[in-house]
Structure 1
Amino acid sequence: MSKIAPSQTLTLRAARINDLDDLLQIESESFSTESYPLTSRRQFRYLLTKAKNVELFVACLDKNVVGYGLLFFRKNSFWGRLYSISVRPEYQGGAVGKQLFERAEQRIRKRKQKGMLLEIRADNQKHLKRYLGLGYQLIDTIPDYYPDGSAALKLRKEL
């Protein structure tokens, strides 16, 4: 894990089309295709240029994209869904992911949603403990959710 140097500035902003290569690289570095369905170039391009009811934002250290967050909003739902947070491996476990997560909750509040939904792998006890500690509640288990057949735990928190 790389720490953020005092001389570096971490900023968050809306993702842009010229972030596409960084988004793909972060996705491939952070997730294995055996365990997670990866977002393709085509899907990211659609999210950046045409998708409605989504927010895709990036974390930048100085001018380098080091992570992203992706939120979905359904037309007839009062809940925002955190689809993904991904951080370059050398910055995982620190301020980047935390700030992306906080931004996701802020965006849910700003849109006046009831709260946030998210899914994690059932075998990811580290994140389960973290989310429960943040006030999220386990509301469902979805069998055979991930490419390797693992179940997902669905969590939510009213904001």
Structure 2
Amino acid sequence: MLVVLFFSAFVSATLLPGSSEVVLLGLASQVPEQWLSLLVVATLGNTLGGLVTFAMGWGAFYFGNRHFSWLPNLNQQAKAKPCLVKYGAWSLLMSWAPVIGDALCFVAGAAKLPVWQSTIAMLIGKAIRYALLLALGNAVVNI
């Protein structure tokens, strides 16, 4: 059960499609007493997936992303760049966000932002998102 959640969260944070929120809320409804384990596993999986995208950006810096059509396109990167320029690695607090989250991680890697600071920002942002989802899911179920 936790392995499924981990891989769902991991894949959702990469450039592959996925929806870890559905898996998280489904598991939380089945085993609500394990909310903390679910939160930790989802956060770690999603953060590691974000780091994969960060590493892809780092690699694209050297190899040029024009050879990889599946990477965030220039339009997506352009949307993410102003936030990155203004806030640096702390912009990765928003790495969970749809559409720009993957691009933020990718551009942060290509910009060679500090890995540890980027990792911490991703971890915090993703943990807050999953904690809010669990709280909201619990509130809806208990209405």
TM-score (norm 2): 0.30
Question: Which one has more relative contact order, counting CA pairs under 8 Å at least 6 apart?
Answer: 2
Q: Which has the higher strand share?
A: 1
TM-score (norm 1): 0.27
